[in-house]
Each structure stands twice: as structure tokens, then as C-alpha cells.
């Protein structure tokens, strides 16, 4: 089934927020998604056969795009959908004129790190105490990929 990547709309937020809570230990709130849409960030659903399979949010900067969220529903992971959604985001970012894509990822997020490494991202630094964690805060690994 060929996926489609329609733009995320406010009407989609019930489904997105419900999925977000199942997919992340520290999920974005509805307000985080609503603020992203209001700010004009790029936000897309991934759909197959009328079903939402995942979603992504990406921020524009002058020469860069910043990937803020990429999620594939748990029962559909490891089927190549995360890589396909990333490839779509690379194309979108290029149409904005971005020369590279940046992101942050938790050091403990094995699937995220593996997805990004597999798709050409390399670590370029760390941000200390970037994320809330179970005990205190957790650093972020900053990764980048040329587009």
C-alpha cells in the first residue's frame, strides 16, 4: 500500500494526541501540537488505506529544517514506514530551501537513534539537561544530515 502524507489539521489532533500518548514515554500535549500548527510548522500525517500510521512535525529555519517529532504507531513499527516518512520530510525540507536537517533525540531512544543513523544522520553535539526524565533531566543528542 502506497502511503500518503496529508497536512495535519486541527481536526486530526484527537487521533494524533491519542497516538502520541501510546507511543512516547514523555508525550507532547495537545497544546504542543496546536502551537506547532499555529506557528506554521510543517506537520503531516502518514496514512495507508484510510488509516493513520504515523505523523511528523518539522520547523523551518532559514537554511535548515528542524525535525521536532516523528512517530509511527507501535503495531506498525519496523516495517520501513519511519524511513519512508523521513524521506518524504527530506523532500519537503528541500522544497523550503533547507540545506540540512537537525534534530534532538534522547540517548536512551534506541529506535529513534537507529532510525536516524540508518538514514544518514550523524551526531554533532549534545544539549545538557534538555529533556524531562524520570529522575530530573536528560541530555539530548543533536544530530544533523545534509540534504
Q: Give the strand pairing for 100-105 and 64-72.
A: parallel
Instruction: Please identify, using beta-carbon distances, which residue of 60 and 109 lies nearer to ligand COA.
Output: 109
84: buried, middle or exposed (CB in 10 Å: 19+, 13-18, 0-12)? Answer: middle
CB of 84 to ligand COA, least distance (A): 7
Looking at beta carbons only, is 62 or 110 nearer to ligand COA?
Answer: 110
Distance from C-alpha of 64 to C-alpha of 5, rounded to nearest angstrom = 21
Please say which residue, 78 or 126, places its beta carbon nearer to ligand COA.
Answer: 78
Is 104 designated active site? Answer: yes
Distance, CA of 129 to CA of 50 (rounded, Å) = 39
Choose between 37 and 68: whose C-beta lies nearer to ligand COA. Answer: 68
Closest separation in Å from C-beta 6 to ligand COA: 18
What is the C-alpha to C-alpha distance for residues 41 and 130, in angstroms, rounded to an integer?
Answer: 21
Contacts of ligand COA in 64-123 (CB under 6 A): 69-72, 77-83, 105, 109-112, 114-115, 118
Q: Active-site residue 55, yes or no? A: no
How many binding residues for ligand COA (CB under 6 A)? 21
Helix (H) or strand (E) holding 38: helix 30-38
Element housing 88 (H / E): helix 81-96
Give the whole-angstrom CA distance, residue 87 versus residue 83: 6
Nearest residue to ligand COA by CB is 82
Residues marked active site are found at 104, 116
Give the footprint of ligand COA on this chain (CB under 6 A).
23-24, 69-72, 77-83, 105, 109-112, 114-115, 118
Amino acid at each position: 500500500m502506497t502511503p500518503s502524507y496529508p497536512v495535519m489539521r486541527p481536526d486530526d489532533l484527537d487521533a494524533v494526541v491519542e497516538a502520541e500518548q501510546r507511543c512516547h514515554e514523555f508525550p507532547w500535549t495537545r497544546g504542543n501540537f496546536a502551537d506547532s500548527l499555529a506557528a506554521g510548522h510543517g506537520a503531516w500525517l502518514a496514512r495507508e488505506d484510510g488509516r493513520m500510521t504515523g505523523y511528523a512535525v518539522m520547523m523551518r529555519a532559514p537554511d535548515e529544517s528542524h525535525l521536532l517529532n516523528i512517530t509511527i504507531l507501535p503495531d506498525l513499527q519496523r516495517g520501513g514506514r519511519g524511513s519512508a516518512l523521513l524521506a518524504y520530510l527530506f523532500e519537503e525540507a528541500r522544497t523550503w530551501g533547507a540545506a540540512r536537517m537537525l534534530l534532538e533525540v534522547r540517548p536512551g531512544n534506541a529506535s529513534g537513534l537507529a532510525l536516524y543513523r540508518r538514514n544518514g544522520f550523524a551526531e554533532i553535539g549534545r544539549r545538557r539537561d534538555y529533556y524531562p526524565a524520570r529522575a530530573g533531566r536528560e541530555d539530548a543528542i543533536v544530530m544533523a544530515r545534509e540534504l
